[in-house]
Amino acid sequence: MHDHPESLIRELQKRARQIRLDVLDMVYRRGAGHPGGSFSCADMLAALYFHHLKIDPARPDWPERDRFLLSKGHAAAALYSALAQRGFFPIEDLQHWGHLGAHLQGHPDRLKTPGVEMSSGFLGHGLSIAVGMALAQRLHGPRYHIYVMMSDGDMQSGVAWEGALAAAKFKTSEVTVLMDYNDVQLDGPTHDIMPLEPLANKWRAFGFAVIEINGHDLRQILEALDTALEIHSLPTVIIAHTTKGKGVSFMENSAKWHGAVPNEAEYARARAELKGYVL
Amino acid sequence: MSEIPQRQAYGIALADYGAINPQVVVLDADVSSSTLTKYFAERFPGRFFNLGVTEASMVNVGVGLALGGAIPFVNTFAALLTLRACEQIRTCVAYACTNVKLIGGYAGLSDYKDGPTHFATNDVALMRAMPNMVVLAPADNTEAALLVPVIAEHEGPVYMRISRAAVPDVFGNGHTVRIGQGTLVRPGNDVTIIGSGSMVGRCVQAAELLAKEGISARVLSMTSIKPLDVELVCQAAEETGALVTAEDHTILGGLGSAVAEALAERCPTPIEFVGLKDTFAETGPDPDTLMDAWGLAVSDVAAAVRRVLQRKR
């Protein structure tokens, strides 16, 4: 077990709550976005950006930084909040998400937004890109770790499993997948639309070390991230069981809130719930 | 005709350049013995990655290598590369503007024996429609070899198609090729024939045929289909007043379309198109017989010239 003080857990919980509040504001203000999948990954983003990742907002292209790839690019708002809170760009930029001329695109754009390592939006790409990054650093250095956040939908795309084949072939222990497994996708429950189970066994069969956690328990998230760094022969997947829409009662486990925008009353209620929300 | 296939000239040049530029890495999808990236693999096994039949993932692995500072040459058959990995190319290479070099082997009808599944006849159209993408079709083995360092040293996405077959030699020693630049291959005043890739040699032969009829045909090699050498095209249009394009590709969206777009905007001029007429072709006994049978013969180029001359004002 790795020791993570209670004060750190509290701090990260606050960060996660701020990510959810920012996402809610951003989606409401813009009239577009993906609250459900942004809320489900907020705790993991908080753990990464406010504790685990080796990054420096003053040097977004620092060669030795860890790389984070948001393969589930529709959670862009959550990533933007984390990057802004971490200091990659001003917090007020979040208000301009999706405006003409703004650097914050509907989905992440590596050419426009400081701290975004790779453009994403269509699902499935992150893992094979991470494999390529691992191969590059073996040739040219410097060494760093690569994190890929994937979703249920990511794991339904063929290219993701092609990436898993490649990760296994090259034994890319430099790569850790965080799977935000909320079991809800745009059209309905993942287990109805296109089941992924037995998911842990699939990853194991593909040559990954598998860690299963509650993706909203920051202690478990931090522990899993530390453990993954100690696995030197295999790539690791952290299957994080999460709740889509986590933190807002009427959004939880609801496919409707994959890409829906709250009305004024819903916004007010969601905001109140998030303000009072502590894990 | 060249002594070795164009793919072999490319494979040799890639391996040779690998010795000069340690940033270059090569990816292939289980066809390195066909694309002849195996030469590179034999000399630099640590910089060669065989991804098996995972074209979509291979392109993304290339993207990751590029983001990590390498210069990846991503190879497989042109049809597989541009069709199966089309979305990866659009999103992760073109849109993200990553420094990935896409090399499509077995271009056009050159894989004559395997039939239309293996033919790449809309790859140029697809890649032209990708913002940020450079699209190249070397006219002969000299250009295929010369373009390897040019592509590597260009910052940004590039697509190059390579013939499986031997193609006519067009250029000799001292030739240079640059992105965005076409080449005057043969002077002429009555009409201009613009070819790309394996058709350039056939265009020269057509011009020789036409010379015997008293027709002076200029021949341009348009190796750089995108960006197009608009100045060279418009100069030819103004000086000769009629054009024919010739490509081992569908006439929809390829070289002919690129030239027609430039002409329509800058200097409207009668034009005829030699290429596949919105069809899939068929399996053939050898590349040249197949090309001749499907509208890419030297006589087809010459006939297109005679037609366009009747429309010339």
CATH code for the domain of B139: 3.40.50.970
Task: Give DSSP secondary structure letters for A147-173.
Answer: EEEEETTGGGSHHHHHHHHHHHHTT-T
Going residue by residue through chain B, which has 313 residues, state the pLDDT in tens, using 9 for 90 and above.
Answer: 899 999 999 999 999 999 999 999 999 999 999 999 999 999 999 999 999 999 999 999 999 999 999 999 999 999 999 999 999 999 999 999 999 999 999 999 999 999 999 999 999 999 999 999 999 999 999 999 999 999 999 999 999 999 999 999 999 889 999 999 999 999 999 999 999 999 999 999 999 999 999 999 999 999 999 999 999 999 999 999 999 999 999 999 999 999 999 999 999 999 999 999 999 999 999 999 999 999 999 999 999 999 999 999 7
Residues B188 and B302 placed together within one structural domain of the fold? yes
Please tell me whether residues B188 and B273 are part of one structural domain. Answer: yes
Chains A & B: contacts with CB separation below 8 Å = 102
Q: Which of B57, B58, B69 sits opposite A136 (nearest CB)?
A: B69
With 50 as the cut, is the pLDDT of residue A279 above it?
A: no
Alpha carbon of A162: minimum distance to chain B alpha carbons (Å)? 6
> Could you tell me the CATH number of the domain that includes residue A233?
3.40.50.970
- Pair B142, B226 in one domain: no
pLDDT tens digits, one per residue of A173-187? 999 999 999 999 999
Q: Per the domain annotation, does B193 fall within a domain?
A: yes
Q: Establish if B176 belongs to a structural domain.
A: no
User: Is B67–A117 a contact, with Cβ atoms under 8 angstroms apart?
Assistant: yes
CATH number at residue B203: 3.40.50.920
Predicted local confidence at residue B313, as pLDDT = 73
What is the reported pLDDT for A89?
Answer: 98
Tokens describing residue A190: 């993942």
Burial of A265 (0-12, 13-18, 19+ CB in 10 A): exposed
- Which chain B residues are closer than 8 Å to A174 by Cβ? none
Query: Looking at CA atoms only, how far is residue B12 from chain A in angstroms?
Result: 23
Contact check, Cβ <8 Å, A132/B64: yes
> Is B49 domain-assigned?
yes
Q: What share of chain B is helix, strand, coil (3-state, %, to 5)?
A: 45, 20, 40
Q: Residue A163: its chain B contacts at CB < 8 A?
A: 57, 60-61
Which one is catalytic: B3, B42, B55, B155?
A: B55
Chain A residues with CB under 8 Å of B61 CB are 128-129, 131-132, 135, 163, 166
**Given B131, B161, B191, which residue is the final one in a domain?**
B161
Report the phi/psi class of residue A121: left, alpha or beta, with left for phi > 0 and alpha for psi in -120 to 50: left
Encoded tokens for A28: 């409401």
User: What's the pLDDT score for residue A1?
Assistant: 72
In a domain, A65, yes or no: yes
Q: Which member of B60, B66, B67 has the closest CB to residue A163?
A: B60
The pLDDT of residue A277: 58
Closest alpha carbon to A246 in A184, A192, A198, A194: A184
Please report residues of A whose CB lies closer than 8 A to that of B70: 135-136, 139-140
In a domain, B166, yes or no: no
B60–A110 CB contact, under 8 Å: no
A57 within a domain of the structure (yes/no):
yes
Average pLDDT over residues A240-253: 97
Is A46 part of any domain? yes
Provide the domain count of chain A: 1
Same domain, yes or no, for B127 and B12?
yes
Per the structure, the complete domain to which residue B119 belongs is given by 6-161
For residue B90, being part of any structural domain is answered with: yes
Residue B225 CA, distance from chain mean position = 8
Q: Write down the pTM of the prediction.
A: 0.97
Beta bridge partners of B159: B102, B135
How does DSSP classify residue B90? I
Residues of A in contact with B67 (CB under 8 A): 67, 117-118, 129, 132-133, 136
B61, B76, B90, best to mutate vs chain A, most A CBs in 10 Å = B61
- How far apart CA A96 and CA B16 sit, in angstroms, is 50
Any domain includes A253: yes
Q: Does residue B112 belong to any structural domain of this protein? A: yes
Same domain, B215 and B282: yes
| Alpha-carbon dihedral sign for residues B252, B256, B258, B264 | negative
| Closest chain B C-alpha to A159 CA, distance in angstroms | 6
Cβ–Cβ of B96/A135 closer than 8 Å? no
Task: Measure in Å the smallest separation between the Cα of A202 and chain B Cα atoms.
Answer: 18
Question: Active site includes B55?
Answer: yes
**How many domains does chain B fold into?**
2
Do B223 and B96 belong together in one domain? Answer: no
Scan for tokens 């004002």, then name that residue: B313
Residue A96 lies in a domain: yes
Same-domain status, B41 and B87? yes
* Domain containing residue A58: 6-275
- Whether A278 has a pLDDT exceeding 60, the answer reads no
Mapped onto helix, strand or coil, the DSSP state of residue A192 is helix
Q: Do residues B30 and B134 both lie within one domain? A: yes
- The tokens describing B145, both together, are 């070899």
Residue A117 lies in a domain: yes
CA atoms of B173 and A182, how far apart (whole Å) = 62
Give pLDDT tens digits for A2-33. Answer: 889 999 999 999 999 999 999 999 999 999 99
| Separation of alpha carbons B146 and B10, rounded Å | 9
Nearest to A129 among B51, B52, B92 (CB): B92
pLDDT in tens, A84-130: 999 999 999 999 999 999 999 999 999 999 999 999 999 999 999 99
Residue B171 counted as domain residue: no
B246 with B140, same domain: the answer is no
| Residue B153 and residue B38 share a domain | yes
Residue ranges of chain B whose CB lies within 8 Å of a chain A CB: 23, 25, 46-47, 49, 51-52, 54, 56-58, 60-70, 72, 87-88, 91-92, 95-97
| Residue B178 is assigned to a structural domain of this protein | no
Let me know whether B141 and B203 are in one domain: no
The pLDDT mean for chain A works out to 97
- Which residues have CB under 8 Å from A103's CB, separation 6+? A89, A93, A109, A112, A113, A114
Percentage of chain A with pLDDT > 90?
A: 97
Whether A1 is covered by a domain: the verdict is: no
- Residue A45 forms part of a structural domain: yes
Q: Are strands B48-50 and B24-28 parallel, antiparallel or unpaired?
A: parallel
